[in-house]
Amino acid sequence: MEIAVTTDSDITVFALQGRLDALSSPQLEERISQWLEQPGDKLVFDLGELDYISSAGLRVFLTTAKKMKAHNGKFGMAALRENVKDVFTVSGFIAIIPSFDTLGAAKDALR
């Protein structure tokens, strides 16, 4: 999995590409932990290039949601592919983590 991190004004975007599974989720967790140590409280995951997510990947999102709530941060995900969106829907996470059709819509919502 590839992780590209960019900042647009006060919003940090983690763009994920590939598979988020038991092998790659520790890498994402580490990057998120590093980000949480920095100033900033708005985070969007761009999932337009995420091909697959496992239960280990879902755990990363749940943990991040809890940490963001504890920091009074704003958090969302954007551009979910249909198969990835299905996993979030079936797991019930779609009700916990705000989801947006586009990255632009996610950024607008967090501003």
- Average of per-residue pLDDT across 68-91: 95
CATH (domain of 62)? 3.30.750.24
Higher pLDDT, 2 or 8: 2
Instruction: Give me the number of domains the chain comprises.
Output: 1
DSSP string, the chain: -EEEEEEETTEEEEEEEEEESTTTHHHHHHHHHHHHTSS--EEEEEEEEEEEE-HHHHHHHHHHHHHHHHTT-EEEEE---HHHHHHHHHHTGGGTS-EESSHHHHHHHH-
Would you state the pLDDT for residue 6? 97
Its domain, for residue 25, covers 2-110
Whole-model pTM?
A: 0.95
